[in-house]
Amino acid sequence: MTNGSWDLYRLFFVVAEAGSVNRAAAMLGMSQPTLSRRIGDLERSLGAPLFFRTPSGVRLTQEGEELFSSASAVHATFQSFQREFRGRMAARSSLLKISATEGLTRHWLIPRVPQLRRRFPGLSIHVDASVQQQSLAESDLDFVIRIGDPGELDLVGRRVGEVGFGIFAGASYLARRQPPASLRDLCDHDLVGGAVGASGFKSLRANESAFQRVWEGAVAAAGTRVHPRAAQHAAVAEGLGLSFLATPFAEAEGLIRVLPNEGIFVDLWLLRRRESDLRPLTRAVGRYLEQELAASQAWLAGRPEGTPPVTAVAAGR
């Protein structure tokens, strides 16, 4: 079989069923001369005539009859395959797979799931809340919302804002300890965190790098190591000490910021694979996510004028 021969057999089948090259060309959306030339290519490839040309159309030769009989079974099988495959494609195309950190998932993404379902009827949503950077290709993800380094170079997307980070304590801790007055006081406090602390963030400003160095030095001597960061929230809420946390998520959980003028702002990215743009629903959901992230910028950065995400969803934006 020569290259492109499957398409030639498909064209043959349409002409045979239509009984006319002109009618078949109209059905296929191609010109009559082009279709005649393609049928001629198939006849030369097989070394046999397939049609008698008549004033009223075409009629199958004996070889054409035999080919049509065989092609009918193949054509029916292919049509059945197409219907089945379209059904499977429709199921995947109505599924949104998205990965975000646990804090983003809990405090920003989950509150928007009802709104997503209302705006996009039939949409199914799979959320992977993980502190690890998920691979879009290996996990077949549609979107990843990342804080900090955007990671994979083959992803497309945009910076959609920034997330503020600061030092937080629980009410019970501050009930028995005076809050630190400066970064130098951190060494006199119980700190909750890990050896990485604020590391891993890219493109820090000079004052942010200085803050990072102080925090890293203080937390290196801390007596409590807790991973992942979501567990640090729980540890701080229990009054175990101070921790370096994302401002919007810590405040949403009722934690109290100390040293409010000290902290870091980290880029927030909405990323996807270019191939995902072939799914119309994914493109539409992507626009919705971009709009919602843009509307949430003040809240994500931890600025006072920020609007909590639940309010934004309730307002039906």
* pLDDT number for residue 313: 33
Tokens encoding 212: 């990072």
Confidence of residue 132 (pLDDT cuts 50, 70, 90): low
Higher pLDDT: 204 or 73? It is 73
User: What is the distance between the terminal CA atoms of the chain, rounded to a whole angstrom?
Assistant: 57
Torsion sign over Cα 147, 150, 152, 156: positive
- Return the ∠ at Cα 187 (arms to 203 and 222), rounded to 5°: 80
Residues 134-138, mean pLDDT to the nearest whole number: 52
Give me the CATH code for the 95-314 domain, please: 3.40.190.290
3-state helix, strand, coil in the chain (%, to 5): 50, 20, 30
Average pLDDT over residues 10-39: 93
Torsion of the alpha carbons at 58, 61, 63 and 67, rounded to the nearest 10: 40
Mean pLDDT of the chain: 81
Query: What pLDDT does residue 86 have?
Result: 60
pLDDT band for position 317 (cuts 50, 70, 90): very low
Per-residue confidence (pLDDT) for residue 36, from 0 to 100: 93
pLDDT digits (tens, 9 = 90+) for 156-186: 888 899 999 999 999 999 999 999 999 888 8
Q: Binning pLDDT at 50, 70 and 90, where does residue 316 land? A: very low
Beta carbons within 8 Å of 4's beta carbon, 6+ residues apart: none
Top-level class of domain 5-90: mainly alpha
Helix axes 21-28, 5-18, angle to 10 degrees: 120
Question: Given a cut of 80, is residue 90 above it in pLDDT?
Answer: no
Question: What does pTM read for this prediction?
Answer: 0.67
Intervals of CATH 1.10.10.10 along the chain: 5-90
Amino acid identity, position 264:
I
Q: Where along the chain do the CATH 3.40.190.290 domains lie?
A: 95-314
State how far the Cα of 67 lies from the Cα of 161, in Å rounded to an integer: 62
- Residue 136 pLDDT > 80: no
Distances in whole angstroms, Cα of residue 241 to Cα of each of 165, 216, 252, 258? 16, 15, 18, 12
Residue 1 scores a pLDDT above 50: no
- What's residue 258's pLDDT? 95
Return the higher-pLDDT residue of 219 and 62: 62
**CA 163 from chain center: how many Å?**
19
Look up residue 172 and give its two tokens. 């019970």
